[in-house]
Structure 1
């Protein structure tokens, strides 16, 4: 099995993975770090009430919500929602309930508020 394979994520296998701090109230499990122009892929686990400050996407970002609800200024996204944020778009992100998302960034984001 390739090192980057994670099985049964939609059935909750993410609970057995190691996460590290990413932002206040948000933990990360890297599946693939940004490397040589390749996109970064990770799981983000938001505690209830956690948020990521306003940021700009310098490349395409895609998100699949695995548990809970993730929100931004455009709406609330529940389990199974697939979100595409185009390069050049800006938003902040939060989760009132807590959530886990699978995320792929083609380039790191530029923070516009806070850190």
Structure 2
């Protein structure tokens, strides 16, 4: 199992990890899958132009941008940015350039608006 310490991830160690499909043009590597009364911790890798539709946070979500730029209605977040989305908050997320983020969710989000086909 690859090392998933903070130091190795911020130094690009995530590049050796395997990712699986999560949403259209977004892949995931689970560090700690959701369990009963346990938050989920993962790496999300967005391809350039990827987006997650508007959603509501059902618990606290914390993100650290490791590479690239992640954006939402409040702004753009580059490497090293810490983004905290409180329970009940809503937004859409996208990455024009592609990005990799370390994310922790207390609970899964509720998608409010799916992408139109």
TM-score using structure 1 length: 0.94
Number of aligned residues: 113
Q: What stretches of structure 1 move > 3 A for 4+ residues in a row?
A: none
1:4–1:57 CA distance, 2 compared to 1 (3 A)? farther
Counterpart-to-counterpart distance in 2, 1:4 and 1:39:
21
Counterpart-to-counterpart distance in 2, 1:78 and 1:5:
24
Report deviation, 1:5: 5.2
Structure 2 gap segments, 5+ residues each: none
Q: 8 Å contact 2:2–2:17 — kept in the other structure?
A: no
Partner of 2:100: 100
Counterpart-to-counterpart distance in 1, 2:3 and 2:85:
24
Structure 1 gap segments, 5+ residues each: none
Q: 8 Å contact 1:4–1:32 — kept in the other structure?
A: no
For the aligned residue pairs, the C-alpha RMSD in angstroms reads 1.4
Partner of 1:32: 32
Partner of 1:42: 42
TM-score using structure 2 length: 0.93
Counterparts of residues 1-115 of structure 1 (less than 5 Å): 6-7=4-5, 8-114=8-114
1:76–1:17 CA distance, 2 compared to 1 (3 A)? same
SS in 2 for 1:97: coil
Please give the per-residue CA displacement for 1:77-109, whole angstroms capped at 9, x wherever unaligned.
000000000000000000000000000000000
